[in-house]
Structure formats: C-alpha cells, structure tokens
Structure 1
Amino acid sequence: MKPHAEIAEVWPRDGRVRLVGHIHGHPAEGEWRLLLTRRSHAEQRLGYPAQVKGDRFEGELSLDDLAAATDTAEAGIRAGTEVEEWDVHLTDGEVELRAGRRLDDIHGKKKIMVFPEQRVRGIGVRPYYTVKDNLSLECRTGAVT
C-alpha cells in the first residue's frame, strides 16, 4: 500500500477541524504540517503545524482561514452554484502524504461517514471522504445541508 497519512479521528467543531492519525509507510522523523490544497487552484495552499510522536500525528486547521481563502480567491463562491474542495495532506517539506482512511476495511466512506457542516463567513465547510477514501474539505454557500 502506498504511504499515506491514515486518519483515525476527525473532530469538526468550534470553527476548527482537528485530525488525529498515523503516518503509514514512511519514516515519521522531522517537522510535519497539515497541508490543504485547493483542488481547482493547486497553487493555493494553507499549512498548519502537526505534532508527531512516533508515527502518530495530530493537528488542527482553522475554518476561518479556509473560508477567507475560498471566498477571496478569484470571484469566490457564487451563491449556491459552486463547491470548492480542498484536499488534505501531511507533509514534512519533502514528501506529501495524502490523508485518508484505508486500513479499516470499510469501503465507500463517502456515503457512510458524514461529518457536520460548520458555517464560517457565510460559507459552509465540512470534511468528507472521497470515493477513494481520502479526506477532503468542501466549502459552499447557501443553505445548510
């Protein structure tokens, strides 16, 4: 299996998302950061410190930062018509490990594991698992879903 950041816990609350997991298939030495990459504009990234002890990592990201970056980039999200997605990685500056949950034998998490949406600056943000069981964040305007 390809090296990745195996997610064990996702805690969306209080304008933040806290992530806890293990580094799988790669040495866990050095300084690590959570890295969010805007899918539609890969050059746009947000980074947050991650604490690593052994192969275990923990970090949290600010939804206010994410909403501001999503809202101000180009024209922002048009009311109810667009969804911006941000992919989650763990990086040591040399390697970027995709965050996901693959070691639990539960396939199709996109339809099974649904996280609550938080509203920040008029934008709804929620973590979700992709069809490949990777962790991403969805940002949208309009009504709470």
Structure 2
Amino acid sequence: MTTPRAGCAIDSEGRITFEVPAADGHRLLLRLRPKKGLPEETVHVLGLDPVGEGRARAVLDTDPVLVEGRWDVYLLDGSERTRLRPGPRDLRALVDGHLRERRGPLAVRVPYGTKDGYLAVRAWLRPAHAEVGRVDVTGGTLRFAARLHGASLSDGAEVRLRLRKGEGTVRTLEPLVAEGGRSLSFTVDDESLDTGIWDMFVRPAAEAPMIRLARLLDDVADRKSVFVYPGATAGQTVVRPYYTVDNDLSLEVKRVGSR
C-alpha cells in the first residue's frame, strides 16, 4: 500500500491548510512528538472536508496554539493512524517573516519533511523573541545583529553569554541599541572565553527575563546544517557561531588545533 501524501500551505498568520486524498470517515491528527522514553501526551484532531477531485482539506487555525516542539502528521481512520508523507508545501508567506513586527507571546509554525521522509510541523512558542539577523566573522571578531519582538530594550539592557556546563559562568556584553529599542548589535572578541558551548541571551532591561537569541521567522525548520559559519580566531582561541537543533544561536569555543 502506498503511503498517502499531504500537501500544505501556510499563511502569514500561521494558519496551515492540509490537503489529502479523500476517504469517508478519515480525519487528520497532529501529535506532539514525545521526548525519548516518555509517553504521548498532546494531540490535535482536525476534521476533513471534501474539496473535489478526490481530495479533502483540513485547516489548523491559529487557535489552538501549538506547544513548542515537533508535531507529526497522521491520517486517522477510527483508531488506526497512518503517518503522512509530504506533498507540495507552499511556505512563501514565511520567507520574509523576519521583516514583520510580532507581538508576544510569539507562536511560530513551519511545516517540513523529516529526515525519514514524513510530514511534520516545527512549532515554537516563546513569551518574547530576539531574531538574529546579520552574523559577521572577520579575523578574530564576531559581530551580531538582532531585533526584538514582544519586548524592547531600555536602561540596563545587556547581552549574556552563558557557558552551558559552567555552573553559572556568564560573560556580559553591552549592546548598541537602535530603532527605538527594538534592534541591537554587539561584538564578541574575548580570548578569555572558556572552551565549551556558550548559549546567547538578551536581557532587555535590568531584572527582566532573559530572551534567547534565535532565528525562527522564516521558512527554515532546521538551520543547523544549512547556516554554517566559520570560526573567528583570536590568540589561541577559535569561536564559532552555530544554530542548535532548536534554531537558537550559540557559540562553540575551542583552542587552536583541537578537534
């Protein structure tokens, strides 16, 4: 039996329309992929309406808001599930998403094809967001630009680099603020960074919650292997920016010559 395919299109508000082969009594199911070893907890079931030519359509509206994670897409026939493969995906509305102003909380959805060839939706849900823009690597210096959505910068704003396994080790940088507190830029050229992975945050004001630097507002669900940057070498230290599996921006710090 051939595994059915689902085409989909998303609009600028995040509303996704799915099209599948029509069949009586079938519905569409989205399942939040559980972490390894944990049971399934969250699903959404959508009705399918015939649209002619042997096709049926389901719409995932902006409400419900999807929990952050990866959602697998299935065709549901009673209690039987068939995981769907991706058909045509129209993501044009997402390409320039970073150019639009967003309010918090920020809810983002990107349909994509998984590594094993199935259809899924990557979702992010964050109280506020710092969208990474330009990343420049010149000699031993890294320069970054970002724009805030759902927050603005004021007195006491800072960029924080936090060593992932450093028991609270933090470096604080002062950003250059522009556009009424919505945009910022900053430079990393510190040879004293310990080796390891440093996660990057913006604190928009003194005592405010930290906001993770990330790139979420376009059509790329997994950018770790797509956006690959060289390292900046300063003294005996190589600092390389990279995107994590969640599209957050981090720094990998190594000593010259190490692997």
TM-score normalized by structure 2? 0.47
Alignment of 1:56 onto 2:56: no
State whether residues 160 and 201 of structure 2, in contact with CA within 8 Å, keep that contact through their aligned partners in structure 1: yes
Alignment of 1:93 onto 2:220: no
Alignment of 1:10 onto 2:135: yes
Structure 1 segment 1-145 matched on structure 2, within 5 A: 1=106, 2=126, 3-53=128-178, 54=180, 55-64=182-191, 68-70=192-194, 84-91=196-203, 92-94=205-207, 95-141=209-255, 143=257
**Higher radius of gyration, 1 or 2:** 2
State whether residues 32 and 51 of structure 1, in contact with CA within 8 Å, keep that contact through their aligned partners in structure 2: no
Residues of 1 paired with 2:221 and 2:139: CA distance? 29
Residues of 2 paired with 1:33 and 1:127: CA distance? 19
CA 1:12 to 1:144, structure 2 compared with 1: closer, same or farther past 3 Å?
farther
SS at match of 1:114: coil
CA 1:141 to 1:125, structure 2 compared with 1: closer, same or farther past 3 Å?
same
Flag the structure with higher helix content: 1
CA 1:126 to 1:23, structure 2 compared with 1: closer, same or farther past 3 Å?
same
Residues of 2 paired with 1:16 and 1:140: CA distance? 15
Task: Supply the AA of the counterpart residue of 1:59.
Answer: F
Between the two proteins, the alignment pairs up a number of residues equal to 130
State whether residues 7 and 99 of structure 1, in contact with CA within 8 Å, keep that contact through their aligned partners in structure 2: yes
SS at match of 1:27: coil
For structure 1, list consecutive stretches of 5 or more residues without a partner in the other structure: 71-76, 78-83
Moved more, 109-118 or 91-100: 91-100
State whether residues 139 and 233 of structure 2, in contact with CA within 8 Å, keep that contact through their aligned partners in structure 1: no
SS at match of 1:57: strand
For structure 2, list consecutive stretches of 5 or more residues without a partner in the other structure: 1-105, 107-125
Which structure 1 residue ranges, 4+ long, deviate > 6 Å from structure 2? none
Residues of 2 paired with 1:119 and 1:14: CA distance? 6
Note the aligned Cα RMSD (angstroms).
Answer: 1.9
Residues of 2 paired with 1:93 and 1:62: CA distance? 24
State whether residues 116 and 126 of structure 1, in contact with CA within 8 Å, keep that contact through their aligned partners in structure 2: yes
Q: Deviations over 1:92-144 (max 9, x none)?
A: 23221100111122121110001011223323210000000000000123547
TM-score normalized by structure 1? 0.80
Q: Deviations over 1:28-54 (max 9, x none)?
A: 333321110000014111111112222
